[in-house]
Amino acid sequence: MSGRYDVIVVGAGHNGLTAACYLAKRGLKTLVLERSDWIGGAAVSRELYEGWTYSNCSYVCSLLRPEVVRDLDLPRHGLQVIPYESGATFTRDGGYFAYYSDHDALRREISRFSRRDADNYERYARAVMRQCRFIKPLLLRAAPDPVSNRPRDIAELLFLGKRFHDLGDREMGETIRFWTMSIGEFLDEYFETDVIKAHFAGSGIIGTGLGVYSPGTAYVLLHHYMGEVDGTIGAWGFTRGGMGGVTQAMARALIEAGGEIRAGAGVAQILSKDGKTKGVVLDNGDVLEASTVISNMDVKRTFLNHVEAKDLPDDFVKAVKRFKIRGSSAKLNIALDGFPSFPAAPAGAPFLKGDLHASESLDELERAYDDWKAGRWSSDPYFDMLIPTCIDPTMAPPGKHMMTVFVQYAPYELASGESWDGPARDRMAETVIAKIAEHSPDFRDLILHKEVRTPWDIEREVGLTEGNIFQGELTFDQMFFNRPVPGYADYRTPIKGLYLCGSSSHPGGGVMAAPGANAAREVLRDLGMKVSGLTPAERAA
């Protein structure tokens, strides 16, 4: 295969597809190359057991930028997200705490545990919402370089400064606090009930190499909260057909816009000469030419595996090597012969359709993190367990179910020296299954098939370094103008015409499509094409 393109995107993850869509719509001859036989990266649905569709990596949707959904007309191409409106944490004493997106229902539920907490919930929700409102417009803007004198950067710094200042005295301080606090300490200020805190704290550590008491995790909670479904901020939902529904819709949009996708076509090398992008070489040796190449791979994979070191400045390579991408999560995807019973839940409880957990205190979560630091999988893990088939029956045969279990924590390298590709995988899975079984007596017997994904498996299959779902830790030394490399936070790289569009770039990970959209904008800018009007944020600037 050979050919010339205007733009080649390496990796058909959701960000790569997004960037490709925006560029194809502007008439650029765009090709997306994907190593695997299927597309979607970590936003994918796979039939790994006959009759069952697994969202075997990402599993729920919220952060997908509504601007991108609208710009690419994704609903017309089949994207349908159905919110699940509640969830729960089961406790060892046979009880539970349920979360309802209905404010009054939630208040009543919290009152079951503590009136004080019920009263404080209003303040807590308002505080988080304020932060969401502050941050949302910043997601679809490139981060400024605080050290440069370029008018664009200075203008952006002033914009951010003004936005910050407009919060007012009190809120400015509270914002700085929120962004630097741990989720554990933040929750300790509002709630006294352990299980309530534990329930909320989970989204502060999902996908991270941090604990609930690590500073900066309140921000991670925000990161998971600032999405929306149908305009409800903070809501999460299932994509019909699994998370592959997102990338399939994007792929259809791309084809309609005149773009091309090739699966089973891995890229071996990104070519450049004299600091300028020339194209790519495929695994099979074919050469494809393009003066613009956008990589959806994480920054380490891109530069340490697919670009020759001699083409890059030394300190850039050093900075890339230093960028922290630490695997900390595992996943179990399970085909069930029926719906498992949860005796703690009242009959017909709506929250069984949502996110289920079994960690009942911040200490328990913190100890799970300590295990990870010591190079072990958590003996008492945190999990985010859902049964999407309650809402989307298309994922399994009638009457059967599919369960997705996201687990914190599992290290990429085990301190024991054991490989994940062996008995350790099943032992880790058993830890998780045993914990679920504590709350569901018939669960084990219903298991028809399970796919266990350790950080090693995720890396191998999806191409995410160490299986880190964010393509890099979401800590402030690696966020915003520090992401992925200080001085290169604007999607560009030391090679002219080579860009990054994945979660290693601002604003980070989750199925957001923001990095992809932002990268496309910068590409257009460099090609001298008009960018105004591309996104509402751009129109507002």
Partner 1 sequence: MTRYDAIVIGAGHNGLTAAGVLARGGRRVLVLEKNAGLGGAAAGYEIAPGFQAPRYAHLLHAWHPQIEKQLDLAANGLSFARRDLPTLALAEDGAHVVIEGGAARLLSGAAHPDAAAYATLHRRLVRFAGVLSAKLLETPPQFHRPDWRDLASLAKLGFDVRRLGAADAREFLRVLLSNARDVILDEIGDGPLAGALALDAVMGGHTGPRSPGTALTLLYRLAQGGGRHLPKGGMAAFCTALAQSAQSHGAEIRRSAGVAAVTVENDRVTGVLLDSGETLGAPVVLSSLDTRTTLALTGVEHFDAEAVRRVRHIRCKGATAKINLALSGLPAFTGVDPDDLTGRILVAPSVQSLETGFDAVKYGELPAHPALEVLIPSRLDPTLVDGGGHVMSIIVQYVPYHLKDGWTAGARERLAATVLDLLERHAPGLRSLIVAQDVLTPLDIERETGAPGGHWHHGELAVDQMLTLRPVNGMARYALPVGGLYLCGAAAHPGGDIIGAAGHNAARQAMKAPQTKTEGHAA
Q: Could you tell me the smallest distance in angstroms from the CB atom of residue 209 to partner 1?
A: 9
Residue 292 DSSP label: E
State phi, psi for 17 to the nearest 5 degrees. Answer: -65, -40
Q: Is 3 in the site for partner 1 (CB under 8 A)?
A: no
Q: Which of 324, 460, 496, 525 binds partner 1 (CB under 8 A)?
A: 324
Cβ-Cβ contacts under 8 Å for 378 (sequence gap 6 or more): 367, 368, 369, 371, 372, 407, 408, 409, 410, 431
Q: Which of 158, 164, 380, 426 binds partner 1 (CB under 8 A)?
A: 164
**Residue closer to partner 1, measured from CB, 108 or 165:** 165
Q: Is 313 in the site for partner 1 (CB under 8 A)?
A: no
CA distance 75 to 246: 9
Helices 115-139 and 103-111 sit at what angle, rounded to 10 degrees? 140
Q: Could you tell me the smallest distance in angstroms from the CB atom of residue 516 to partner 1?
A: 24
CA distance 467 to 413: 11
State phi, psi for 485 to the nearest 5 degrees. Answer: -135, 130
CA distances from 267 to 23, 195, 350, 382, 388 (A): 20, 47, 46, 36, 34
**Contact string (CB under 8 A) for partner 1, positions 190-219, x = contact:** --------------------x--xxxx---
Q: Is 482 in the site for partner 1 (CB under 8 A)?
A: yes
Q: Is 169 in the site for partner 1 (CB under 8 A)?
A: yes
**Residue closer to partner 1, measured from CB, 147 or 347:** 147
CA distance 288 to 283: 12
CB 444 within 8 A of CB 433: yes
**Contact string (CB under 8 A) for partner 1, positions 215-244, x = contact:** xx----------------------------
**Residue closer to partner 1, measured from CB, 109 or 466:** 466
**Contact string (CB under 8 A) for partner 1, positions 336-365, x = contact:** ---------------------------x--
Cβ-Cβ contacts under 8 Å for 38 (sequence gap 6 or more): 44, 46, 263
Pairing between strand 86-90 and 96-100?
antiparallel
Q: Could you tell me the smallest distance in angstroms from the CB atom of residue 90 to partner 1?
A: 23
Q: Could you tell me the smallest distance in angstroms from the CB atom of residue 479 to partner 1?
A: 9
Q: Is 6 in the site for partner 1 (CB under 8 A)?
A: no
Q: Could you tell me the smallest distance in angstroms from the CB atom of residue 482 to partner 1?
A: 5
**Residue closer to partner 1, measured from CB, 175 or 341:** 175
Q: Is 124 in the site for partner 1 (CB under 8 A)?
A: no
Q: Is 122 in the site for partner 1 (CB under 8 A)?
A: no
Q: Could you tell me the smallest distance in angstroms from the CB atom of residue 334 to partner 1?
A: 32
Q: Is 150 in the site for partner 1 (CB under 8 A)?
A: no
User: 355 forms bridges with which residues in the sheet?
Assistant: 87
CA distance 125 to 131: 10
CA distances from 112 to 117, 193, 197 (A): 10, 10, 14
Q: Which of 170, 273, 530, 539 binds partner 1 (CB under 8 A)?
A: 170
**Number of neighbours of residue 255 by Cβ within 10 angstroms:** 14
Looking at residue 42, its amino acid is A
Q: Is 177 in the site for partner 1 (CB under 8 A)?
A: yes
How much of the chain is helix, strand and coil, in % rounded to 5?
40, 20, 40
* Interacting residue ranges for partner 1, rule: CB under 8 A: 146-148, 164-165, 168-170, 172-174, 176-177, 180-181, 185, 188-189, 210, 213-216, 315, 322, 324, 363, 366-367, 370, 373-374, 475-478, 481-482, 486-487
